[in-house]
Chain A
Amino acid sequence: MIDAALSSSGAQVIVAASSDENYPPDNIINGNTESFWISTGMFPQEFIIRFADAVKMSLVTIHSYNVKNLKIEKSTSSDATDFDVIAQKEFEHTEGNLQANDFSLSGTTATHLRFIITSGYDHFVSVHRQHLVLRSVTVGQSLHLFLFLWPSLVFSSCDWVLAGITPHLAIASFTCLWSLGQPSARFPISDITSSLLSSLMKRLCAPF
């Protein structure tokens, strides 16, 4: 799974309408649901996530509590202006459980995402995790994009990789990465172990 909306991928929360220093907005993008950001009263509430680079997104998942209406806007500018609404949803009330809601974004590109909570099931709402799946690579898309995606790939999802690209391109990219040898500064591939690499190799070569 690829998660570009993680602080470890260079994403940042640059604005949040309210904040308690014990539950800072960074908790939204630290990748776990145990820590959270909580609103401190009244609606609407919003937060903006900035990505290290423009990203192409297929799916965003929000883990929250007591959020009723959520609107997502995107910006493609570098300074977080000109937002357009791209999705809107009324969440179900899940007393005693976190809410998990998916928004399908069909490959839209953005540098910033703004989340606006227009109403809640309670005075205070919390957001625990925001998870973003980048769009899978399709034939004809640049190798660069694939390389960009590569470091965050979890190799158990090889089928996903294969579904998105032709074996030929996969091999090409793979070889390219392989030949790079050392993890590059921009795309650290530290979590690729050799066993994972060889198992991936096998699966990629299977069609031949």
Chain B
Amino acid sequence: MVKLRAKCILVGDASVGKSALSQMFRSDGAHFQKNYSMTAGVELVVKSVNIPDSADSVELFLFDSAGKETFVEACEKLWGQPSVLCLVFDVSSEVSFRSCALWLDRIRALCQGLQMPGVLVGNKSDLSSRREVETAVAQEWAQSQGLEYHETSAKEMENCEAPFLSLAQAFYTLYQDRIQTIQTLA
């Protein structure tokens, strides 16, 4: 039985729903905040995820970070060495999708070649009439960047856990790979 710990940074433009997603995850879907309250730094949410078919778990330390540019530099200092990445955009905002490439550049610069599991999340899938980013387009870009794509609606409690479960699983797989590598060294 092992309990891994992963620092998961949540990034993406302001008001795409990062805090909404992390609060849904924390409260198992019991808490959706309708009114926008801007995150000015980093809010920490800690939750353990069980790995299916094992006695093992991954404790996720979600660093729900500010999307507003003026706060980002301060956030970067708090991130340190992230373990996994959750990159969020709003499917009803083309602009927020375009920003994802910039967010990714910024994080890659920070990680200096370190392999880091990541997911791309298209949130607010409930706003179907205002959708600006097609699923296929987002999916294709995510794949080209080595990210797994998920669509969620924090408002409708749709699929909100999936991105985090998949990150936990990816981190767990990475751990097992590393043990194998290290065993061949000694």
For chain B, the count of residues having a C-beta within 8 Å of the partner chain is 23
| Partner-A contacts on B (CB < 8 A) | 1-7, 58, 61, 80-81, 83, 114-116, 171, 174-175, 178-179, 182, 185-186
Task: Indicate if A65 sits at the interface (CB-CB under 8 A).
Answer: yes
Identify A128's interface contact among B3, B171, B186, CB under 8 A. Answer: B186
Q: Please, which residues of chain B bring their CB within 8 A of the CB of A120?
A: 81
Distance in Å from the Cβ of A176 to the closest Cβ of chain B? 40
Task: Indicate if A122 sits at the interface (CB-CB under 8 A).
Answer: yes
Query: A43 touching B81 by the CB < 8 A rule?
Result: yes
Query: A123 touching B186 by the CB < 8 A rule?
Result: no
Identify B114's interface contact among A18, A19, A33, A123, CB under 8 A. Answer: A123
Query: A96 touching B185 by the CB < 8 A rule?
Result: yes
Distance in Å from the Cβ of A110 to the closest Cβ of chain B? 27
Identify B5's interface contact among A21, A35, A42, CB under 8 A. Answer: A42
Q: Could you mark each residue 77-98 of chain A with 1 if its beta carbon is under 8 Å from any beta carbon of chain B, else 0? A: 0000000000000000000111
A207 to B2, alpha carbons, bound, how many Å?
58
Query: A33 touching B5 by the CB < 8 A rule?
Result: no
Q: Please, which residues of chain A bring their CB within 8 A of the CB of B178?
A: 38, 122-124
Task: Indicate if A159 sits at the interface (CB-CB under 8 A).
Answer: no
**Interface on chain B toward A: helix, strand, loop, or mixed SS?**
mixed
Query: B186 touching A119 by the CB < 8 A rule?
Result: no
Query: B171 touching A40 by the CB < 8 A rule?
Result: no
Task: Indicate if A41 sits at the interface (CB-CB under 8 A).
Answer: yes
Query: A98 touching B185 by the CB < 8 A rule?
Result: yes
| Partner-B contacts on A (CB < 8 A) | 18-23, 33-36, 38, 40-43, 65, 96-98, 119-124, 126, 128
Q: A65-B182, A123-B114 are in contact. Are A40 and B4 (CB under 8 A)?
A: yes
Distance in Å from the Cβ of B150 to the closest Cβ of chain A? 22
Contacts A36-B182, A41-B4, A97-B185 supplied; 9 other A-B pairs, CB < 8 Å: A19-B2, A23-B179, A35-B186, A40-B4, A42-B61, A119-B81, A123-B116, A123-B171, A123-B178
Distance in Å from the Cβ of A29 to the closest Cβ of chain B? 15
